[in-house]
Structure 1
C-alpha cells in the first residue's frame, strides 16, 4: 500500500502582492506525475487546501482541475480541512467529489464513524484504515461551561482532542477485527505538536498549552500524517509521526528549505518506509543582508547564478545604513537591469536594552501575546492615558477574535 502525504497548499496565496497561480499549477501537475510514477494508491491532503476561507475563483479552479487530472491515476484522494479553510466552502462539493473517489472531511462530523475511511489499493482490495481528523475547532468538541478559567478551557480542549483521536482509533481497531484483515491504521491531524519547528507564515491555531499538542496524546497508529507546520520534519524523532510541510515557501524565512511530499509505504499491515520526494523550485526566492555596497555585489552574483527564465523574488535587509531616508529607491537602483524583483526591504534595527527579550536570555516564544504587546507599547513615548487606551483597544480586538473563532 502506497500513500502520498501532502499538506498546506494554500491555493490563492498572494506573496507580498505576487500571484502564485503558475507556481501552484506547476506543483499540482508535478504531483499528479508523482502519483503515476510511484503507483500511489491514495493521497492524503492534511489541511489548508486554500489560503483563506473565501479563495479566489482561480484557486478553486486549480483545486477542481487537479481532482479531474488525478482521475487518470486511479488514486483515492482524502481532503482534510485546515485552519485556513472554510468548513462550509469545502462542504459545498463534498457529495459531488464523493462520486470521483474523493473523500472530503471539512471539519469534525457529528457521527465519528463518518471520519473512519477505508483506503483501497489500485486492485480494489482494502489497504488501510484512516482516522480522518481535520483541524479541530473548540466548538466542535466542547461545550462552554460557566466558571471555567482560561487554563481550565485550554486543558479541556486538549483532552477533548485526545478523546476524539482515541474514539476514532478504537472504531478503526473494531472495524479491522470485523474485516479479519491485517490492515495498517493511519491518523491525520492539522495542529502544532510539541517540538515542531514552524515559520513566520504559520498561524498559531491554539493558545496557551495547546500551541503544542503532546505527541504522546496521539493514538498508537501505524502512521500519523500531519499538516499545519510548513517545515517537513519528524515529531519527537518518531519515524511514523510526520509533517510533510508546505510544497511552496510561504514566507521568506522558508527560503532554503527543501520542500517535499512524503511517499509512505506499508507492508504486512505495518509501516515499511517513508521516502521524501523533493518538490522542484518553481519560483526562486532569496534573502540578502548587508550594507548598500555589499548588497550591490551580492545582487549581481545572485542574478548571474539565478534562473535563466524567472526573476528571483528578493527580500533585502539593510545593515549599517539605517540613517538613510531614501533607502527603498537606493536598494531598487542596485537591482536595476538584473533578473531580480525586490519584494521587501527591511532595516536591521539596533537592539535596545528595553527590547522584547530580556538580557537574561528570555525568548519571544516564552512570552504571552499580552506580554509582547505591553513590552512593545512600553518602548513608545506615550502618555499613561494613551498607553491605557491602546491596551484597552488591543484587548477588545483579541476578545472579538476569540468570539469569532
Structure 2
C-alpha cells in the first residue's frame, strides 16, 4: 500500500498583507498530481487546511478543488481538523466531502472508537486510521489547574487527557489491516520552523505528547502542526511532513515536501520524502544603511519574496527608506530596522514581563504593521471576556 501524507496547507494565509493562497493552490494541485503519478492508495491530511476559522472563498476553492482532483484520480482520503481550522465548519461539510471519498474527523467524540476510519484501497488492503483532530488545552485542562497549578501539573493533565484518546484509538486497529494514527499536536523533541509566528508556539509549547503515549499498533503516525519536516519517533514511526510552501520568512530556505509511505499489514513502514516545487522562495536580507542600493541592485533577478532588515545606528531618521527598497526590489514585503529584528532573535528576553495585549501588539506589528485602535480594543474585550468566562467556570456559575 502507498499512502501520501501531507498537512498544514494554511489556505488563506497572508504575509504582510500579501495573499499566499494562489501559491498554496498551486502546491495542492502539485500534490494531487503526485497522488496520481505515484499511484497512491490514499491521502492523509493532518490538519490546518485553512489559516483561519473563517476562510475566504478563494481559500475554500483551493482546498475543495484539491479534494475534487483526488476524486478524479480515484484516490480516497482522511482529513482531521487542526488548531487553525473551524472544527464546526469542517463538520458541516463532512457529508459532502464523503461523496468525493474524503472522510473528515473534525471534532472528538465521547466514544473515540468512532474516530477510527477504514478505507478500502485499490491495493486490496484496508487502511485503518485512528484520527485525532486538534484538542485545545482548555478542553483538557481545567481552569482550576491553570489558575493554581504549576506548569508541570498542566502538562501532565494534558498528557493524561490525550493519552485517553490515543489508547482508545489504538483499540480500533484491526489485525490484517494497515494501521495508522493521525494527530495534530506537538510531540516531545519536535523542532519548529523559525517562523515569525513564534508567539503561538511560545504560549503553547508546554503542552506536548510523549512518543511513549503513541499506540504500539500504529505502523505510521501522521502528524501535523509543526511546519518543519522531520521524523520524531522510531517505534512507532512518527513524522511531520511540514507545511506545503514557505509560509513565513522564518521558513525561508526550508525545502518543502510530502511523505510517501509504503507499508503492508504487519510490516514496518518505509517513508520517502517527495519534494515540492510550488510556492515562492522567501528570503531575509540584512544590509547596512549605506549599502542598501549596492546590495539590492545585485538581486534584481530574484523572483521570490523579500524581507529587508536595515542595520542603522539607534535614533537614525530614515525617511523614504521603504520607497528606496521597493524601487529596487518591488517584491519586498517588509522593510524592518535592525532593532525590530532583535526582538525576533531573542524573544524570550524581549517578551519577559509583557502583558498579553502587549505581546499581541508586537505580533501584529511583525505581520502587518501598526495595530489599529479598533483591533486593539476588540482584542482587549475578547481577552477580558475570556477571563470572566474562566472565573465563572471556576465558580460554577453562568458567565
Give the TM interval when normalised to the shorter protein: 0.7 to 0.9
- Residue deviations 1:62-103 (CA, integer Å, cap 9, x gap): 222221121121111111100011111001110121122111
**Which residue number in structure 2 is paired with residue 133 of structure 1?**
132
Cα separation, 2, equivalents of 1:396 and 1:314: 34
Q: Alignment partner of 2:237: what SS?
A: strand
Distance 1:280 1:315 in 2: 21
Of 330, 342, 360 in structure 1, the residue corresponding to residue 332 of structure 2 is: 342
Measured in 1, the distance between the counterparts of 2:350 and 2:179 equals 37
- Return the alpha-carbon distance in structure 2 between the equivalents of residues 402 and 216 of structure 1: 37
> Aligned partners of 2:146, 2:191: CA distance in 1, in Å?
35
Residue in structure 2 matching 1:296, options 293, 307, 332: 293
Aligned residue runs from structure 1 range 161-180, under 5 A: 161-172=162-173, 176-177=174-175
2:13 corresponds to 1:13:
yes
Q: Number of paired residues?
A: 365
Which among 297, 308, 332 is matched to residue 323 of structure 2?
332
- Distance in 1 separating the partners of 2:168 and 2:271: 26
Instruction: Give the distance between the partners of 1:237 and 1:347, measured in 2 at CA.
Output: 43
The answer (yes or no) to whether the contact 2:244–2:258 under 8 Å persists in 1 is yes
Residues of 1 paired with 2:137 and 2:341: CA distance? 39
Aligned equivalents of 1:368 and 1:334: distance in 2? Answer: 28
Q: Does 1:400 align with 2:392?
A: no
Distance verdict in 2 for CA 1:403–1:37, change over 3 Å: farther
Query: Residue by residue, what CA displacement relative to the aligned partner does 1:269-317 show, whole Å, maximum 9, x if unpaired?
Result: 323421111111422322100202333233222223x23xxxx321111
Please name the residue that 1:223 is paired with: 220
* Equivalent residue in structure 2 for 1:323, among 315, 321, 327: 315
* Offset of residue 232 of structure 1: 0.6
Report 1 or 2 for greater relative contact order, CA contacts < 8 Å, sequence distance ≥ 6: 2
Gaps of 5+ in 2: 360-378, 391-399
1:163 Cα deviation from its structure 2 partner: 1.6
The question of whether the paired residues in 2 share the 8 Å contact of 1:131 and 1:168 is answered with yes
Q: 1:14 to 1:238 in 2, by over 3 A?
A: farther
| Corresponding residue number in structure 1 for 2:240 | 243
Unmatched 5+ stretches in structure 1: 358-362, 378-392
Map 1:52-201 onto structure 2 (within 5 A): 52-123=52-123, 125-138=124-137, 149-151=148-150, 152-172=153-173, 176-177=174-175, 181=176, 183-198=177-192, 199-201=195-197
Structure 1's 142 and 255: CA in aligned 2 closer, same or farther, altered over 3 A? closer
TM-score by length of structure 2 reads: 0.81
Q: Deviations over 1:41-75 (max 9, x none)?
A: 11111011111111112211222222112112111
Rounded Cα–Cα distance in structure 2 between residues aligned with 1:231 and 1:81:
19
Alignment RMSD, CA only?
Answer: 3.4
Counting only pairs closer than 5 Å after superposition, residues 365-376 of structure 1 correspond to structure 2 as 371=353, 373=355
Distance 1:112 1:141, change over 3 A: farther
CA gap of 1:346–1:236, structure 2 versus 1, over 3 A, is farther
Partner Cα distance (2:388, 2:205) in 1? 13
Instruction: Verify the 8 A CA contact 1:6 1:46 in the aligned structure 2.
Output: yes
Is 2:257 the counterpart of 1:263?
no
Q: What's the counterpart of residue 275 of structure 1?
A: 272
The structure with the largest alpha-carbon Rg is 1
Secondary structure, in 3 states, of the residue corresponding to 2:268?
strand
Distance 1:350 1:75 in 2: 47
- Of residues 26-35 and 109-118 in structure 1, the stretch that sits farther from structure 2 once superposed is 109-118
Partner of 1:382: none
Q: Do the aligned partners of 2:228 and 2:240 also contact (CA within 8 Å) in 1?
A: yes
Q: TM-score, normalised by structure 1?
A: 0.80
Query: Which range moves more in the overlay, 218-227 or 395-404?
Result: 395-404
The Cα shift of 1:396 comes to: 9.4
**SS in structure 1 at match of 2:104:** strand
Quick one: distance in 1 between partners of 2:146 and 2:250?
A: 41
